[in-house]
Amino acid sequence: MNPIGIIFDPECLLHDTGPGHAESSARLQCLLNMLGAHDVQLLRPTILPGRLATESEILRVHSPAHWRRIKATAGYNVRLDNDTVASPRSFDAALRAAGCAIAATESVVSRQVRSAFAFIRPPGHHAEPDKPMGFCLFNNVAVAARHARAALGLQRVAIVDFDVHHGNGTQVAFYNDPYVLYISTHQHPLYPGTGAAGEVGEGLGRGRTINIPLRGGHGDAEYDAIYGSIVARILERFRPELILVSAGFDIAAEDPLGSMEVTSEGFARIAAHLVAAAEMTCGGRIVFALEGGYSLMSLQDGIFACLEAMAGMIHVDEPRGSLSSLPLGDAGQYLDVYREFFPI
């Protein structure tokens, strides 16, 4: 069984979004409650401590003006946009969320554990360098990726995002960066409206953004084929030294904010393909960080499935046959876009 780490910080519970908000503390609380469950304990996870991200770590991704804007919410209730709010403790919670993503990355790079899952909120992948949005204050995974390159000596980092919403903030952060690969599967059209297949990066970063937009209704078969073939092959060609995963469980069939049909078995296979890619390319170094997921039962089931895959309990093979013969759904029409940059 592979040694896995779980990292969280109770301070993340103190980000209060108010009554009726989809991104509530109940999401994190239900995950903390499951840590004592027998099935989770059988995986023998190492519980790792969280920490605060520092100002300098945040500023590797976000502008000074963005930092000041979020810091100024401390002690107040502030509506940042139609979807995104801050409460008196949200600034601290956001620093804890980013800090947990960094700490999880450090634990995997140092081989303290083979893989890690950061149970964090507020989520991050919509936060752009100079703008909070979509429930997100700081971009946790982007901050971790920059930390891996700036402080941990890694050259190439891959970010894979399976949230139902496109991670516009992550895309913007690395759109010109040749050393960070961003791959996103997401429902399209849907908030925030970005993530078309033709958005491929600019300048030296051209070809380092891979968007796989999907209409609603895609389920286990399509996600299994996409992650087992397209995503796995692109990761193999890029050869990252670390894989970071923006893990969004709002592709679940029961989720109220999306229209995908993924089950717990589907999440297990997505995670297992990513774990296998990490084994092939970077010695198994992979970090999952929580993004969306608003059905509490689906969130618990999906994360447990991912933990099983991380622990080596679920094994998958690359789908057999040519790409054109696989059930890729909408992704099949974009193969020529991806082949322009990666010989898949």
List, by residue number, the catalytic residues: 126
Q: Is 218 helix (H, G, I), strand (E, B) or coil?
A: coil
Cα 99 from chain centroid (whole Å): 15
Distances (CA, A) of 298 to 82, 150, 264, 304: 26, 36, 7, 10
With a CB cutoff of 8 Å and minimum separation 6, the contacts of 283 are none
How is 173-191 classified by DSSP, letter by letter?
HHTT-TTEEEEEEEESS-T
Element (H, E) at 300: helix 296-310
Quick check: helix, strand or coil at residue 85?
A: strand
How far apart are alpha carbons 139 and 147 in whole angstroms? 12
Distance CA 15, CA 140 (A): 15
- The gap from C-alpha 286 to its chain's centroid, in whole angstroms, comes to 11
Q: Are 239 and 156 in contact (CB under 8 A)?
A: yes
**Distance from C-alpha of 115 to C-alpha of 242, rounded to nearest angstrom:** 10
CB 281 within 8 A of CB 236: yes
